[in-house]
Amino acid sequence: MTAYVIADVEVTDPAAYEEYRTLVPPTIEKYGGKYLARGGATEIKEGAWKPARFVILEFPSMDQAKRWYDSPEYTPARAIRQRASKSKLLFVEGLG
């Protein structure tokens, strides 16, 4: 069953975050994932939510998404993101 990683990222160190952006795509691809949205324009229709940089990743399964997040390939990049931004991140199981 498909799974999605959804992130709302407020970049606080643009130079370090740019390094993160260059490191991450190959790690996502290695675990069968792909970008569905990556920092494009957003338009709020309800509520007070104000995402800064919105990212949606799709993986073939929740297991693959978790394997990517905890992988030795992504772990160093994740540490850069955590230093260079304030992030909210969640995993969502798809509908089949």
Domains of the chain by start residue, with CATH: 3-41+51-93 (3.30.70.100)
Q: CB-based contacts of 13: which residues, under 8 Å, 6+ apart?
A: 83, 84, 85
Question: CB of 85 within 8 A of CB of 14?
Answer: no
**Tokens standing for residue 61:** 């399964």
pTM of the model: 0.92
Q: What are the pLDDT digits (tens) for 15-70?
A: 999 999 999 999 999 999 999 999 888 899 999 888 889 999 999 999 999 999 99
